[in-house]
């Protein structure tokens, strides 16, 4: 009987492939539930009145849609760097997915409370997802030996970027709705990241060549 038939070979590509498929399904369901939870007002008079009454819901939906999309891309890029999976990675990935699945609830709290007390809860949830993905990558790259060979500087940069950036940018997005100059700060951060990405790439090439 082969390892594949006995189940002993499930730590390689097949295990990783199934984990990615399951994760994609959870992200897809979460992003679908964001739209399902949006209901029109009981009474409205014209398009202007409709959007006035649904403005908070639509803003919350747009931000949450972007959050799920950004985290899906981060998750995909990290898993593209992996060559195998194991039980510990499964547990860490389930932690990520459990938090992602709470985003529709967090979004509903946002529009029910019009921000208010729900805002720090929502931003905290977004930040927690980033930390969970960073822990997943840290285990795979530094402890579990599950990642493709990656220069240390690049691996650390990926971990810090995933852990810190999404939560910070989400909070800045809500801040910018009140103070429009926040969008300029966000643009400056994105430009700075573009430069930092290039610098880390050069550093990684130098480390690999050493």
Give me the phi and psi of 149, to 5 degrees please: -55, 125
pLDDT tens figures, 69-111 = 989 988 998 999 999 999 999 999 999 999 999 999 988 888 7
**Residue range 112-124: mean pLDDT, rounded:** 79
pLDDT tens figures, 43-61 = 777 777 777 777 778 888 8
Residue 139 to residue 151: CA distance in whole angstroms: 15
pLDDT of residue 152 exceeding 70, the answer is yes
Residue 46 to residue 52: CA distance in whole angstroms: 10
- Which pTM value belongs to this model? 0.81
Angstrom CA distances, 2 to 5, 7, 15, 51, 189, stand at: 5, 9, 16, 60, 52
pLDDT of residue 209: 64
pLDDT of residue 14 exceeding 70, the answer is yes
């Amino acid at each position: 009987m082969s390892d594949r038939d006995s189940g002993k070979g499930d730590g390689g590509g097949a295990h990783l492939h199934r984990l990615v498929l399951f994760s994609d399904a959870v992200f897809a369901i979460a992003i679908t539930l964001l739209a399902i939870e949006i209901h029109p007002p009981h009474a409205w008079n014209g398009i202007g009145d409709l959007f006035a009454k649904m403005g908070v819901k639509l803003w919350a939906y747009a931000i949450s849609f972007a959050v799920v999309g950004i985290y899906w891309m981060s998750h995909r890029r990290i898993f593209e760097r992996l060559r195998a999976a194991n039980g510990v990675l499964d547990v860490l990935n389930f932690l990520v997915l459990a938090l992602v699945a709470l985003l529709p609830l967090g979004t509903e709290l946002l529009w029910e409370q019009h921000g208010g007390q729900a805002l720090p809860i929502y931003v905290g949830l977004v930040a927690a997802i980033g930390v969970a993905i960073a822990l997943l990558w840290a285990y795979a790259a530094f402890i579990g030996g599950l990642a493709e060979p990656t220069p240390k500087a690049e691996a650390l940069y990926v971990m810090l970027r995933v852990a810190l950036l999404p939560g910070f940018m989400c909070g800045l997005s809500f801040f910018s709705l009140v103070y429009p100059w926040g969008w300029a700060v966000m643009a400056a951060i994105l430009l700075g990241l573009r430069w930092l990405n290039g610098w880390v790439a050069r550093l990684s090439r130098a480390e690999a060549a050493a």
